């Protein structure tokens, strides 16, 4: 390279870059990080970017916008605004009631289903019910969770009771999984948040 060429490169390095950098709204980042925490409730569902996008959008519009303590652009996820998540379906195309339309009795940290009514998908012989409790720290952006599941249920099962050992949770979700082969990996067809503890 010639001397003139080297000087030209040095000059280019010193020229300030005037390109307009896109500045991300901190609230979008907060919503995305919050979605990563709350999707723990649906950890047994197959990964789905569309579902994650819908969850982060829900958080942005219903939880972050409910923060009246901070100015716009600096609003945060506050635990007291989580009540909106009660009855939140992680996949509206497959609501929990589609598979289990019967009554679910919710206690402090347990559920009982006295009459098990299940709408079985075709070619499935076994079903499992999951109860998930999630504690969330929005300051440290960490979660802890506890999960309880039923045994594999068959079409002649009549009732179940599930209880979470750790009652210090913010969100309680219920999920349902079906399979024709109990040795296959378990994936929930539907997950719903059924209770919120503030």
Q: Class of 24-196 per CATH?
A: mainly beta
Model confidence band, residue 7 (pLDDT cutoffs 50, 70, 90): very low
Question: Global pTM?
Answer: 0.84
Continuous segment of H or E residues that includes residue 173:
strand 171-179
Mean pLDDT of 108-132: 91
Nearest to 168 by CA among 131, 133, 132: 133
Q: Where are the domains of the chain?
A: 24-196
pLDDT digits (tens, 9 = 90+) for 36-48: 999 999 999 999 9
- Structure-token pair, residue 107: 């206690």
Which segments of 119-165 are extended strands (E)?
126-137, 142-149, 160-163
Spatial separation of the C-alpha atoms in residues 133 and 193, rounded to whole Å:
9
Sign of CA dihedral 121, 125, 129, 130: negative
- Percent of residues, the chain, with pLDDT higher than 90: 69
Which residue's structure tokens are 């045994």? 151
Model confidence band, residue 5 (pLDDT cutoffs 50, 70, 90): low
Model confidence band, residue 146 (pLDDT cutoffs 50, 70, 90): very high
Which residues, at least 6 apart from 181, have a Cβ–Cβ distance to it below 8 Å?
A: none
């Amino acid at each position: 390279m010639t001397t003139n060429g080297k000087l030209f490169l040095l000059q280019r390095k010193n020229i300030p870059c005037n390109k307009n950098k896109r500045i991300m709204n901190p609230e979008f980042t907060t919503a995305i990080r919050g979605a990563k925490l709350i999707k723990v409730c649906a950890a047994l569902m197959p990964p789905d970017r569309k579902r994650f996008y819908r969850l982060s959008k829900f958080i942005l519009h219903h939880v972050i916008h409910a923060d009246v303590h901070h100015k716009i652009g600096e609003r945060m996820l506050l635990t007291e605004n989580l009540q909106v998540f009660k009855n939140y379906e992680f996949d509206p195309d497959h609501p929990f009631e589609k598979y289990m339309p019967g009554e679910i009795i919710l206690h402090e940290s347990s559920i009982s289903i006295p009459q098990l009514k299940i709408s079985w998908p075709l070619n499935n012989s076994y079903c499992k019910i999951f109860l998930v409790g999630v504690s969330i720290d929005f300051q440290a952006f960490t979660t802890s969770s506890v999960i309880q599941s039923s045994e594999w249920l068959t079409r002649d099962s009549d009732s179940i009771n599930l209880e979470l050992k750790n009652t210090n949770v913010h969100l309680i979700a219920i999920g349902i999984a079906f399979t024709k082969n109990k040795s296959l990996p378990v994936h929930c067809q539907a997950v719903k948040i059924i209770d919120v503890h503030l």
